Amino acid sequence: AVATRHGKERAIAPPFLEGLPLAQVVVVPDLDTDRFGTFSGEVERRLSPPEAALAKARAGAEASGADLVIASEGSFGPYPPAPFVPCDEEFLVLLDLQDGRHFLHRHLTLDVVFGGERCDRLDQVLAFAERMRYPEHALILRERELWSQDQEQHKGLTDPTRLRELAEELLGRHGSLWACTDQRAMLNPTRMEAIATAAEGFVQELSTCCPACGEVHFAVVEQLSGLPCGWCGTPTDMLRASLRGCAVCGHRSEVPRADGQVKADPGQCPSCNP
């Protein structure tokens, strides 16, 4: 079962049905996952993203009685190596109640539609909407950047006429407004694609068995930098290999880059391009 209220089963179910021996994937009905936190600020997320995903899965298991429950949690913010670039981290959890274990998968992508902007005029609102690929991606309008109970908030806006009307009302009433993207999966196709990619990677990891003990989910536990420069051989900050690990027997194994790259561009080298 998928623990979601935002249509994530459309991204999660196909890879799991194709890659694992499952008869069907169903949605846990009437499950309030917003209680674990909302992007728009009404409910503060007090758990880390992996903890929130696990909490959703446990709530889904309790509500549905299913033995296997999948849940996800996303987190948007600056990309650590380049803080001016936004990124999306998606965490998927598979809870297996038959043996009391859970499996976690993390996917990070820079392909995001995410942002917010203070607007003083209607043309600024419309320009922001265009940059955020509106109306394919929904927007939120409110008075201030941070949500509070004393201000109106309009979520899930996908109708251009309605967006214009609400923007004019807010601007007329307050002189300015805050426009931002609605990050709920069913209203942000780019995020839904990220969840689908995460699900595909999760299935691949679940299907990878430990070469030492045969246990499933021989997963990537660390990314190893140090790809050597193609000119001088100096280690760079670029990814050199991934480290896979087994949670049962503790076996570790290095895996080369998936793209086969073995040398770094000299432009990334601290010696050749200091």
Report the percentage of the chain scoring pLDDT > 90.
94
Rounded average pLDDT over 255-264: 92
Rounded average pLDDT over 128-150: 96
Residue-wise DSSP of 107-175: EEES-----EEEESSHHHHHHHHHHTTTTTS-EEEESSSS--TTS-EEEEE--HHHHHHHHHHHHHHHS
- Tens-place pLDDT, residues 28-45: 999 999 999 999 999 999
Q: Helix, strand, coil: what percent of the chain each, to 5?
A: 30, 30, 40
Number of C-beta neighbours around residue 83 at 10 A = 10
pLDDT given for residue 274 in this prediction:
81
d(CA 45, CA 34): 9
pLDDT given for residue 134 in this prediction:
99
Type of residue found at 202: F
pLDDT given for residue 81 in this prediction:
78
Report the percentage of the chain scoring pLDDT > 70.
100
Say whether pLDDT at 80 is over 90.
no
- Tens-place pLDDT, residues 159-193: 999 999 999 999 999 999 999 999 999 999 999 99
The confidence band for 208, taking pLDDT boundaries of 50, 70 and 90, is very high
The confidence band for 258, taking pLDDT boundaries of 50, 70 and 90, is confident
Closest among 210, 248, 128 to 177, alpha carbons compared: 128
In sequence order, what are the beta bridge partners of 75?
A: 89
pLDDT given for residue 23 in this prediction:
83
d(CA 22, CA 272): 52
Q: Helices 160-174 and 122-131 meet at what angle, rounded to 10?
A: 140
User: For residue 21, is the peptide bond before it cis, meaning its omega torsion is within 30 degrees of 0?
Assistant: no
Domains and CATH numbers, the chain: 1-110+188-207 (3.90.950), 116-182 (3.30.1490), 210-274 (no CATH)
The confidence band for 243, taking pLDDT boundaries of 50, 70 and 90, is very high
Rounded average pLDDT over 118-137: 98
- Residues 231 and 268: beta-carbon distance below 8 Å: no
Rounded average pLDDT over 220-238: 95
Say whether pLDDT at 108 is over 90.
yes
The confidence band for 207, taking pLDDT boundaries of 50, 70 and 90, is very high
Say whether pLDDT at 57 is over 90.
yes
Mean pLDDT across the chain? 96
